[in-house]
A and B are shown apart, each in its own frame.
Chain A
Amino acid sequence: MTEKSMVKADFVTSVILIAMGIAILVLSIQMPTMADRNQSVYSAPGVVPGFIGLMITILSFAMLLRSLKKKALAEFREGIIPKGSLGQESTKRILTTIVLCLLYAFFLGKLWFGIPTFAFIFVFIIIFEYDRKKPLSTQVKKLLIAALIAVITTAAVMLVFQKLFLVNLP
């Protein structure tokens, strides 16, 4: 991350964190004190989260002041997201990875473990390896290897985890 976008990111996160800190503080104050149960006020469940909320607010406020000193607001004139970062190859790869993993997690528990697992590994390898510019016929080997890895991994995971380590699978 460049220094300019870091200043912007610090500004945004500090605002979010201050809101979070204050919310934690308010929720902690609203918790019962347990005094009606003849318990010491100091044993109230809200004492420690309240302290943590306060600390998060103070520290984030320090970060907010620092980012304002570095002229964070002026940086926003050039747009919130740095130009060109969305089209970058690395951003695409990061987003693809996250989306594939989310999809896999979504299907877990809904289908028998083997199906999403096989599909996930196969699709993951193909998406990152398949070259759309080349004809399909030259890339059959890639497809076969991906399918083979997916089958072997799925079988091995199920065997090792269920039979050897006696662990439940999703």
Chain B
Amino acid sequence: MIFQSQTIKNLGLMLLGIFLSVSGLHSQSDPTAQKRVSGTYVIQNVNLVASPGSNATQTSILIKDGLIQEVGRNLRVPAEAQIIAGDSLYAYHAFIDVFTTAGVSRPADLERPSDFNPSKPSDEIAGITPWRQVLDYYDAKNNSVTEWRKLGFTIAQVAPEGGMIPGKTALVTYGGPNSSNVIGRQNALHAKLRNSGGGRSLYPGTTLGVMAKFRDVYKNAELSAKHDRTFASAAGINRPERNKTYEALYPVIDKQIPVLFEVTNDLDARRAMMLQKELGFSLGLIGLQESDNLIADIKRTNTMAVLSLKLPENGASKAKKDALTDEGGEKLKRVEEAYQKALGQAASFEKEGVPFAFTSAGIRPSDFNKNLDLMVKAGLSEKAALAALTTNAASMLGISRFAGTVEKGKLANIMLTTGPLFAENTQIKHVIADGYVFNYEVKTAKKESNGNNSNGSADLSGSWEYISETPAGSGSGVMEIKRDGSSYAGTITYDSPTGAGKDTADMRNISWNNNELKFTFSVSAGGMNLDVNVSGLVDGSNYSGNLSIADFGSFPLTATKKPNQLNQ
């Protein structure tokens, strides 16, 4: 009897299987026309660089429903396959971003209670939110995701925004619109050495407090876990107090997931490494800059090293060299050396044999290719650059099983370029993300325009409303720009540092060239003047750039122009 019913069940499954495969072959009607004709593609006769450093070989790639089914010169082309002509194109595994906040929105600041005591804020107000899952704040359709995909990125670890412990990361693909595109959730814990939310206005306010608080939270999570275990196994134990902060750290103290510390320079990285040494979690250093001094320690401790794609501005290039004294010349030389060192950091890691990956956090998509090129020109091998963006990244994320190289059995995350990567004028023609094909227009090389200004007929003048994002939150204001002869003049309003209303400053040194708008303005606060530099690109009535304040870093600023007739 049992045998019989089992047979019937198997028969049922078989029938179901047949039904499914039939429906697979003959797609159901799709009145919305959203559905793909087929998930099967063959990239024919493409120059494949299957892994970093391997030679380009001409071959074909069969992709079916997001998986690389076959790689080979003479593979059988299924009837339903769409053909992508690979002739003269190059295929690489698409880029993997080890850490990004692209598409992630910042959780709203919590309202402070009326009896708020800044020395004892709740964890959530204090920026300690390890229970937060980034996917609750992630929008796969966000423009920046589209932009990064256009640059060849198809897999990313997205990290939550927030305070000193923002929460858990997730692994996503930049694939098609009908999928959640989630590969994994709760991949790592994101942590920082600085707290946002107004610095000294609540505990912990500085790196001092943040490090102490991190130790506190970690050690108490260990004790809490111990209490839980005792309670579960013995009688006569008082009930453990449930604490979601501690519970959210259990996978970290059990070393199931790493802590990814966002760092800026070697000193920050050492601080994270110090915490690691004391507490014993597994550590990833995210956003390394100025860390040449640390390479040996990273190597010795085998720490996950993720370099920033950010590069400093070349200060020396703007200096007036002819007016310099001898001493000034010596100083300028050191600024130049510092710049070259920054460009060469990735190359130094490569030279020392320390595997590393990259994070896009902190840079604009438009700087990606430029900065990568600068690093390659400064000595980073193309092989190491590609490895950092593919195989190393995959191994750090623990996904080498299905990502990092183009071979049978791996997920279909492939970029097709018009020439070898890093060669001049090479452009991306297709990005295949999770088996979905995204096509991009390939521009033929344009003639250089003759004039100095190639801003077209765009007119800057008008009212621009801007929003800036600093680690402390958003600011906003208006830039009023007017024509002043052949150049521009303007004013900008900003949130007053006194805390009330807006202040206004003149926009100085306005430069407007190749669609790039740069200017400086002064903020006066506490009897001091502080220069804020803004630069960015104008695209029609949109402005996207960064503002930088002395040594405090650079933060995104975006603006939109109000239609001109409203301004008059």
Partners in one complex: no
